[in-house]
């Protein structure tokens, strides 16, 4: 794989993943909520695939300094935009609807946990993921290490089954998210080390796990359960579906050079996925304020368009200011 060549199919898959996440927030029907439930696992796997390239670009022979440089760089790109958006968002809500939710709520939100503003917990997942990249970079991809990762995950599932620490917010926010999303990071970081045969085996294995648990929950509850019941924290029913769909999409897109991959709008959305995701939160609020017609696909189009308009407008303003002031923070505000 040419490390300098743009992977347009990754752009397309990031667009698919981002769209799935937005769909989750617009009141979509159950069948679509189920279909799009691979979105977060896909985004974590994609970011890990890209991390394999970006991590090795950092020029430092000292392993600790290399890891710190990478983590600090990624943290700035994740935390600064999120905090800036949250300040703007909560300020607007306070000005227009006099909303004050309390210090604990805002602290939990700025710490990116699910115990505050629910939308930003995914940023914490990305932070955990990039924190693990230097560790996985040092681990050789072999059967021994694969078994170690699998054993850690089994211990994690056992801990959840026994309800060990599940009521503790700190343990819930750390252990019960680092382990499952760490496993997805490991898969993504080593995706290019897998043979096609190994990829197909992984898809079939996860498909069997997904079907097995779907049947189990069906007989337990007398109805088909969406994988979301195993999402907080993520467990095998949710993860097997996410891994199955993510790897299948990766294989399909890698082996087919569809024209849509190089679509300018798709590339723009991929390049600005962070800010589009953040601004879509405000766009959803605007939908609710103006009582936008509750048709999911119309709402999706409106939220996307409005989010893109926000990004374009902010970028334009920053470009004008940059002609006079070359502030470093601007690079975190445009994409």
What CA–CA distances, in Å, run from 68 to 60, 133, 136? Answer: 10, 11, 14
pLDDT, position 1: 46
Cβ contacts of residue 133 below 8 Å, gap of 6+? Answer: 48, 51, 55, 70, 185, 189
- Dihedral of alpha carbons 25, 241, 176, 48, sign: negative
pLDDT value at 19 more than 90: yes
Q: What is the mean pLDDT of residues 201-213?
A: 98
Which secondary-structure segment (H or E) carries 219? Answer: helix 196-221
Cβ contacts of residue 221 below 8 Å, gap of 6+? Answer: none
pLDDT value at 3 more than 90: no
Dig out the tokens for 246 from the structure.
């993510």
C-alpha–C-alpha distance, residues 189 and 136, integer Å: 7
pLDDT value at 29 more than 90: yes
The CA dihedral of 24, 25, 27, 32, to the nearest 10 degrees, is: -10
Dig out the tokens for 262 from the structure.
């190089």
Whether 189 contacts 52, CB under 8 Å: yes
pLDDT, position 259: 87
What is the overall mean pLDDT for the chain? 93
pLDDT in tens, 40-51: 999 999 999 999
| Residue corresponding to tokens 């990478």 | 70
pLDDT, position 283: 96
Phi, psi of 222 (to 5 degrees): 65, 25
Domain boundaries, the chain: 8-332
What CA–CA distances, in Å, run from 158 to 70, 108, 152, 235? Answer: 33, 27, 10, 11
pLDDT value at 2 more than 70: no
C-alpha–C-alpha distance, residues 179 and 235, integer Å: 10
Phi, psi of 261 (to 5 degrees): -60, -35
pLDDT in tens, 95-136: 999 999 999 999 999 999 999 998 999 999 999 999 999 999
pLDDT, position 11: 96
The count of residues in the chain is 335
C-alpha–C-alpha distance, residues 245 and 38, integer Å: 6
pLDDT, position 5: 74
Task: Read off the DSSP letter of residue 328.
Answer: G
Q: What is the mean pLDDT of residues 245-270?
A: 94
Provide the pLDDT confidence category of residue 239 given band limits of 50, 70 and 90. very high
Q: What is the mean pLDDT of residues 215-228?
A: 96
pLDDT in tens, 279-323: 999 999 998 887 777 789 999 999 999 999 999 999 998 888 888
pLDDT value at 326 more than 90: no
């Amino acid at each position: 794989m040419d490390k300098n060549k743009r992977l347009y199919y990754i752009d397309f898959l990031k667009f698919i993943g981002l769209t799935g996440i937005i769909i989750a927030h617009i009141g979509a029907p159950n069948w679509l909520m189920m279909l799009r439930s691979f979105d977060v696992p896909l985004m974590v796997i994609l970011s890990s695939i890209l991390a394999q390239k970006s991590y090795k670009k950092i020029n430092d022979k000292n392993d600790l300094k290399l890891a710190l440089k990478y983590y600090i760089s990624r943290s700035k790109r994740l935390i600064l935009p999120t905090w800036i958006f949250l300040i703007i968002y909560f300020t607007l809500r306070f000005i227009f609807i006099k909303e004050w939710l309390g210090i604990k709520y805002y602290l939990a939100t700025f710490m990116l946990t699910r115990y505050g503003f629910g939308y930003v917990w995914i940023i914490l997942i990305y932070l955990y993921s990039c924190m693990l990249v230097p560790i996985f970079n040092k681990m050789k991809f072999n059967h021994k290490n694969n078994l170690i990762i699998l054993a850690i995950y089994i211990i994690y599932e056992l801990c959840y089954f026994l309800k060990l620490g599940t009521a503790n917010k700190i343990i819930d926010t750390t252990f019960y998210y680092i382990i499952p999303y760490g496993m997805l990071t490991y898969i993504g970081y080593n995706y290019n080390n897998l043979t096609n045969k190994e990829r197909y085996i992984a898809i079939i294995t996860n498909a069997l796990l997904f079907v097995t648990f779907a049947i189990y929950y069906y007989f337990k509850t007398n109805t088909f359960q969406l994988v979301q019941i195993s999402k907080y924290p993520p467990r095998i029913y949710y993860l097997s579906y996410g891994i199955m769909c993510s790897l299948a999409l990766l294989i399909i897109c890698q082996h087919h050079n569809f024209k849509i991959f190089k679509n300018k709008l798709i590339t723009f959305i991929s390049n600005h996925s962070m800010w589009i995701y953040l601004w879509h939160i405000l766009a959803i609020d605007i939908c609710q304020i103006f009582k936008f017609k509750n048709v999911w696909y119309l709402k999706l189009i409106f939220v996307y368009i409005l989010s893109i308009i926000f990004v374009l407008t902010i970028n334009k303003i920053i470009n004008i200011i940059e002609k006079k002031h070359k502030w470093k923070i601007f690079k975190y505000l445009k994409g």
